[in-house]
């Protein structure tokens, strides 16, 4: 049986700040050697060269080691940073740690559980193709098993980090006689995220194995629980499966919903309800009563350039990339629901939720 989970959201005060993590450890809320995953937002540009992710990663790992965690074990902790806090989104981290058996609040009801796995190395020529999809799907199944989840319906959030393409990796593929999905390194972020999402969808039985030609083209193929980020920090898929299991105990529960478009606040409320909060038909932020830990969303500019029948210029804008515009827009909608700008809103949602929308996961404290 996996361990019960403690989960806390903390602000990040600068790009290399981990002071709120160390405060949680000093206060005895969590133990450094029990941290199993971190998912957060950093304030960089969110692009290929967003090195704030590396700075934050280093700061959090060094803080755990300084507080007594084994350095070798800390290297293996999945720490997933999504760069870019456009608009009102505030830099923050959500920290997951196991709870000692003697401190667990017992419950036979579904409670939060987390599993982690790393895929086999992903070659540059596999990114956005069946090779990637198959390797990601295999890793998701391992993470599910480690989380103690046997029913895919109990998976509500799969956060991944995968490599995107760089000039160096593109040249590496060519030197071995292979081509790559795209030679545009920024576009490769969408490619990597989309291929990863399809791997999640395959693992969870949401779709059958797609063809290479379906990636970024057939937007009817998607996962309702995938949240995929990519960067230059690694060469494998880092997979964190978050769901519910009976018997693990603890105070927290996760649920999910889907935003059908960039303005669909009801999709966020649906995720919070799914996590177990009893809300009125037309809820307000005050109804959350401090019980919402965090929400995790992916967003995407609709391929037809419209939202609810109204045209927008995001996809035609040569000054500000649509990644930044849609992230800021959905971040504002999300913060209006939660009343807290420290929300995890990540862009590049190909095959993650329907076109123009995206999946939403919510973690609540049931007490």
Tell me the pLDDT tens digit for each residue of 69-84. Answer: 999 999 999 999 999 9
Tokens of 189: 């972020």
Q: What is the mean pLDDT of the chain?
A: 96
pLDDT digit string, tens, across residues 5-54? 999 999 999 999 999 999 999 999 999 999 999 999 999 998 888 999 99
- pLDDT, average across residues 282-291: 97
pLDDT of residue 219: 95
Choose, from 41, 67, 135, 161, the residue flagged as catalytic: 161
Choose, from 229, 274, 346, 348, the residue flagged as catalytic: 229
pLDDT digit string, tens, across residues 111-163? 999 999 999 999 999 999 999 999 999 999 999 999 999 999 999 999 999 99
Q: What confidence category does residue 106 fall into, taking pLDDT thresholds of 50, 70 and 90?
A: confident
pLDDT digit string, tens, across residues 295-312? 999 999 999 999 999 999
pLDDT of residue 267: 98
Are 23 and 324 spatial neighbours (Cβ–Cβ below 8 Å)?
no
In the chain, the percentage of residues whose pLDDT exceeds 90 is: 95
pLDDT of residue 27: 98
- pLDDT, average across residues 269-283: 97
Residue 231: pLDDT over 90: no
Q: What is the per-residue DSSP string for 150-215?
A: -SGGGEEEEEEEEE---HHHHHHHHHTT---S-S-TTHHHHHHHHHHHHHHHHHTTSSPPPPGGGT
Q: Specify whether 229 is catalytic.
A: yes
- pLDDT, average across residues 91-107: 94
pLDDT of residue 48: 82
pLDDT of residue 134: 98
Please report, in angstroms and rounded to a whole number, the separation of the first and last CA atoms in the chain: 21
**Angle 63-50-180 from CA coordinates, rounded to 5°:** 120
């Amino acid at each position: 049986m996996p361990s019960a989970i403690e989960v806390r959201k903390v602000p990040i005060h600068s790009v290399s700040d981990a002071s709120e993590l160390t405060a949680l450890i000093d206060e005895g809320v969590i133990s450094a050697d029990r941290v199993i995953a971190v998912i957060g937002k950093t304030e960089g540009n969110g692009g290929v060269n967003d090195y704030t992710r590396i700075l934050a990663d280093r700061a959090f790992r060094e803080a755990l080691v300084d507080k007594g965690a084994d350095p070798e074990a800390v290297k293996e902790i999945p720490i997933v940073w999504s760069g870019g806090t456009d608009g009102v989104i505030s830099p923050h981290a959500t920290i997951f740690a196991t709870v000692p058996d003697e401190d667990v609040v017992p419950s036979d009801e579904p409670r939060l559980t987390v599993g982690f796995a790393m895929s086999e190395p992903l070659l540059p020529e596999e990114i956005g193709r069946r090779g990637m999809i198959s390797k990601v799907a295999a890793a998701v199944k391992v993470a599910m098993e480690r989380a103690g989840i046997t029913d895919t319906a109990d998976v509500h959030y799969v956060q991944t980090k995968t490599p995107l393409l760089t000039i160096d990796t593109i040249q590496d593929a060519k030197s071995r006689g292979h081509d790559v999905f795209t030679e545009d390194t920024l576009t490769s972020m969408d490619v990597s995220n989309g291929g990863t999402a399809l791997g999640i969808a395959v693992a969870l039985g949401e779709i059958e194995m797609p063809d290479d030609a379906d990636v970024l083209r057939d937007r009817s193929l998607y996962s309702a629980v995938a949240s995929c980020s990519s960067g230059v920090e690694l060469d494998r898929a880092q997979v964190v499966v978050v769901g519910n299991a009976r018997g693990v105990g603890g105070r927290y529960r996760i649920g999910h919903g889907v935003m059908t478009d960039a303005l669909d606040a009801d999709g966020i409320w649906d995720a919070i309800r799914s996590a177990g909060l009893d809300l009125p038909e037309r809820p307000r932020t005050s109804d959350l009563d401090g019980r919402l830990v965090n929400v995790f969303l992916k967003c995407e500019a609709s391929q037809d350039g419209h939202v609810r029948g109204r045209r927008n210029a995001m996809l035609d804008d040569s000054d500000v990339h649509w990644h930044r515009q849609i992230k800021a827009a959905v971040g504002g909608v999300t913060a209006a629901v939660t009343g807290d700008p420290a929300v995890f809103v990540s862009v590049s949602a190909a095959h993650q939720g329907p076109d123009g929308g995206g999946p939403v996961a919510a973690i609540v404290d049931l007490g």
